[in-house]
Amino acid sequence: MPAASVRPRLGVVFLTVLLDLLGFGIVIPILPLYAKTMLAADSQATADFKTGVLLAVYSLMQLFFSPIWGRLSDRAGRRPVLLLSIAGSCFSQLGYALAPSFTWLVIARGFAGMCGANITAAQAYVADVTDDKSRASGMGLLGVAMGLGFVFGPAVGGVLSHFGDRLPFYVASGLAAANFALAVPILVEPRPAGQRSQARALTWTGLVRTVTTPRLLTLILLFFVITFGFANLEGTFSLYLQREFGYERESASFLWVYIGVMMILTQGVLMRRLAPRWGEKGLVVVGTAMMAISMVLLHYTHGLTLLLIAVGVMAVGNGLNNPALSSLISRGAGSDRQGGVLGVSQSFGALARILGPLVGTWALRFGSTVPYLTAGAAMALACVASAAFVQQPRLAEHAPRTQEV
């Protein structure tokens, strides 16, 4: 597809993901601390574990629904799946604000995970409109949208939290509603009906074939390990900052802003320059090595300077790794099963995001920095595996098409 026609389409999906992740960014640093206000009667260890359950239930629902939405997007189109995901985000975040108890908060979180097909469909959209050479940069553009959400979202959430515990969730829900209203007229389906997969949308045989292809299996397992390591940080970072540095909601939110800025610079600037030189494999190896180092640094951090260095290295490593690995997974799939393959990878990522917060919050009882030793070990394993087993595909290489997935 000519570059001139690709840019507007990437711009539209960029805006869609940006608005969605902006609302997500408002919520994610605040949600664990918001949940703690509903668990005041519980012991600290019990409250920590319940908070981990709250974070994990989102990913539990994505574990089952990501492949379904991915395959439906292959058959029915990317646009309707994206619109459904945005609408689900609106209602779920309104559910956070209206939740009368922790149980209802968990239910709202589960509904958000069930409808959370945005990233899978957006990645498949990018795969539809890019070639092998520009795939990593296209995935990096989605990373920039996510990074911007993490920059402005936590900052907005931190300020709004001063005016009421529930106000950030109302605002996030309103952003999702505005996103839906904008997406309906401007989001264009990237492929006409005649070019979509004609296979049945949901077959377990097809999903099994997806994850048992040796090349894809290696990449998807790698994605699982890396996501597990990073989920340790996501699930415990705000609590770690509270205990080690005395940072409350506003201070924790602005550290998430810093992480977002570093990811934006990495994916918006470095990816375009480094991807053609190093290839996706090189970026994955370097990115996971940096993340392993950063997790170990967090274990030994006692001052703000070292804290900023550690999370900065982590953000750059994550910014290099994620789009490169997504590009490799996409390039290993046939053109008619992008959504299914990316959905399966997101499902494995969801499983990792279930286990990561659970293991991380459980490990907090042994010390505030213990979760990062677990995460660092996972990242080191991923670095060795990516260097040993991942192959850099040729630009002209395409996976065979299939009508069974």
* Cα-based angle 14, 124, 53 (whole degrees, multiple of 5): 85
Neighbour count for residue 195 (Cβ, 10 Å) = 10
Q: Is the pLDDT of residue 296 over 80?
A: yes
What integer best gives the mean pLDDT of the chain? 80
Report the pLDDT value the prediction gives residue 399, as an integer from 0 to 100.
41
Under a CB-based contact definition with an 8 Å cutoff, are residues 403 and 338 in contact?
no
Domains and their CATH numbers in the chain: 9-185+203-389 (1.20.1250.20)
Task: Tell me the two tokens of residue 196.
Answer: 């979509």
Report the pLDDT value the prediction gives residue 117, as an integer from 0 to 100.
63
For the segment 166-206, what is each residue's pLDDT rounded down to a tens digit? 898 999 899 889 888 888 888 888 766 555 555 444 455 66
For the segment 83-112, what is each residue's pLDDT rounded down to a tens digit? 888 898 899 989 999 988 888 999 998 898
Under a CB-based contact definition with an 8 Å cutoff, are residues 242 and 252 in contact?
yes
Please give the average per-residue pLDDT across 69-94, as a whole number.
Answer: 85
The CA–CA distances, whole Å, from 320 to 36, 267, 272, 383 equal 34, 7, 10, 13
Please give the average per-residue pLDDT across 307-333, as a whole number.
Answer: 87
Report the pLDDT value the prediction gives residue 335, as an integer from 0 to 100.
61
> Which carries the bigger pLDDT value, residue 395 or residue 339?
339
For the segment 127-143, what is each residue's pLDDT rounded down to a tens digit? 787 777 777 777 888 87
Report the pLDDT value the prediction gives residue 310, as an integer from 0 to 100.
92
Under a CB-based contact definition with an 8 Å cutoff, are residues 54 and 109 in contact?
yes
The CA–CA distances, whole Å, from 125 to 103, 131, 138, 193, 199 equal 35, 12, 10, 14, 18
Please give the average per-residue pLDDT across 291-310, as a whole number.
Answer: 89
